[in-house]
Amino acid sequence: MKKYIYGVDLGGTTIKIGFFPIDGELIEKFEIKTNTENGGINILGDIVKAINSHMLANKLSKDDVKGLGIGVPGPVSNGIVQSCVNLGWGSVEVKSDLERLINLPVSVSNDANVAGFGELWKGGGTGYNNLVFITLGTGVGGAVVCDNKIVDGHVGCGGEIGHAPSLDNEFKCNCGKIGCLETVASATGIVRIANKFLKTSSNKSILRGKENISSKDVFDAAKKNDDIALKTIDYFGKNLGFVCATLAVTTNPEAIVFGGGVSKAGDILIDVVKKHFNEYAFSVLRETTKFKLATLGNDAGIYGAAYLANQM
Ligand SMILES: [Zn+2]
């Protein structure tokens, strides 16, 4: 009887592995270092070694395990990742290579897409089948889930919400374009906006003169009604609300879930995004689209990967 699944979150420095019962709660998690030497040639083999030794220690055979899911940091389509700069990978046939090495079924998707899938299964999006997930961290990532399936898209760029065009037309993105959502809605983007307003306004602010402002400083100052911080958060919310309105009319999600470090700001973030979403969104979507915070934190990836394996 197949009773267990493994969920793997493959990152540039560590590989997190979660051990789950089918449809159940996380039993155990462990991690190994990501060996990026020699173009990351040993990464898949290291994952297989770690899982095989976990199975041996727990007296499990391949008959006990349904399979494994894995999230990788690059665009994935049909089980193949085109390139993972963080891993030193070019095109790698992750699904077929892993299946051959471990002799179990494997399902693979992009890491941010997988994290969104985890939030839908056991996190902030539990109970929904249609979800947009947006991670607001150093950068901005995302996932689109429609009818309980991740939208990887034609060349694996489904859910690349960080590069959705925003209302801003000033800041340059790492991708080379101007005005990507990431430039104004990431932690670094929020600091960028705050610094701009500090420069162009003479209003008093607790942020003024502070060294190395963080996005948390900006939200904390906004909670104290600091004028520059409130303006910054409003600009952030306007751009994010605009993109959410576009996504809502494209995929009509039941909920839009925010994760990543910036989402720790909590209700103030939801409130400002909702305010501007209501300004831009198609009428019926204003009443029916829910906004939620992610709850799984760094475990979202292993949960989502396990859910991918669950669905095979
Ligand atoms: Zn971009």
Give the mean pLDDT of 122-140. 96
39 has pLDDT over 90: yes
Give the mean pLDDT of 67-77. 95
For residue 52, report the distance from its CA to the centre of ligand 1, in Å.
39
Give the mean pLDDT of 35-53. 97
Answer whether 8's CB lies under 8 Å from 45's CB. no
Mean pLDDT of the chain: 96
For residue 60, report the distance from its CA to the centre of ligand 1, in Å.
45
For residue 66, report the distance from its CA to the centre of ligand 1, in Å.
38
For residue 11, report the distance from its CA to the centre of ligand 1, in Å.
21
Separation of alpha carbons 152 and 83, rounded Å: 15
Provide the residue count of the chain.
312
pLDDT value, residue 23? 80
For residue 220, report the distance from its CA to the centre of ligand 1, in Å.
27
pLDDT value, residue 209? 87
What are the tokens at 237?
């919310």
For residue 143, report the distance from its CA to the centre of ligand 1, in Å.
16
For residue 237, report the distance from its CA to the centre of ligand 1, in Å.
18
For residue 183, report the distance from its CA to the centre of ligand 1, in Å.
8
247 has pLDDT over 90: yes
For residue 159, report the distance from its CA to the centre of ligand 1, in Å.
13
What are the tokens at 2?
């197949």
What are the tokens at 36?
């990026």
Answer whether 257's CB lies under 8 Å from 119's CB. yes
Phi, psi of 218 (to 5 degrees): -65, -45
Separation of alpha carbons 232 and 221, rounded Å: 10
Which amino acid makes up residue 37? E
What are the tokens at 68?
């494994």
CA dihedral 94, 99, 102, 108 (to 10 degrees): 50
For residue 38, report the distance from its CA to the centre of ligand 1, in Å.
29
DSSP three-state, residue 176: coil
For residue 234, report the distance from its CA to the centre of ligand 1, in Å.
21
Give the mean pLDDT of 24-45. 95
- Give bridge partners of residue 256 from the DSSP assignment: 132, 291
What are the tokens at 131?
């979800």
% residues pLDDT > 70 (the chain): 100
For residue 180, report the distance from its CA to the centre of ligand 1, in Å.
5
Task: Grade residue 85 by pLDDT with cuts at 50, 70 and 90.
Answer: confident
Instruction: Tell how far CA 134 is from the center of its chain.
Output: 6
Separation of alpha carbons 91 and 307, rounded Å: 25
Sequence spans of domains, the chain? 4-120+299-310, 127-295
pLDDT value, residue 2? 84
For residue 277, report the distance from its CA to the centre of ligand 1, in Å.
21
Task: Grade residue 24 by pLDDT with cuts at 50, 70 and 90.
Answer: confident
pLDDT tens-digit profile of 170-207?
999 999 999 999 999 999 999 999 999 999 999 999 99
What are the tokens at 239?
């751009």
For residue 12, report the distance from its CA to the centre of ligand 1, in Å.
20
106 has pLDDT over 90: yes
For residue 204, report the distance from its CA to the centre of ligand 1, in Å.
33
Answer whether 118's CB lies under 8 Å from 8's CB. no
For residue 23, report the distance from its CA to the centre of ligand 1, in Å.
36
Fold classification of 127-295 is Nucleotidyltransferase; domain 5 (3.30.420)
For residue 239, report the distance from its CA to the centre of ligand 1, in Å.
14
For residue 27, report the distance from its CA to the centre of ligand 1, in Å.
38
For residue 283, report the distance from its CA to the centre of ligand 1, in Å.
29
% residues pLDDT > 90 (the chain): 96
Task: Grade residue 86 by pLDDT with cuts at 50, 70 and 90.
Answer: confident
For residue 103, report the distance from its CA to the centre of ligand 1, in Å.
38
For residue 167, report the distance from its CA to the centre of ligand 1, in Å.
13
Separation of alpha carbons 202 and 196, rounded Å: 12
For residue 139, report the distance from its CA to the centre of ligand 1, in Å.
10
Fold classification of 4-120+299-310 is Nucleotidyltransferase; domain 5 (3.30.420)
Beta strands in the chain, from DSSP E residues, in sequence order: 4-10, 14-21, 28-33, 65-72, 76-77, 80-81, 106-110, 131-136, 140-146, 149-150, 255-259, 290-293
- Name which of 252, 260, 255, 250 is nearest 301 in CA terms: 260
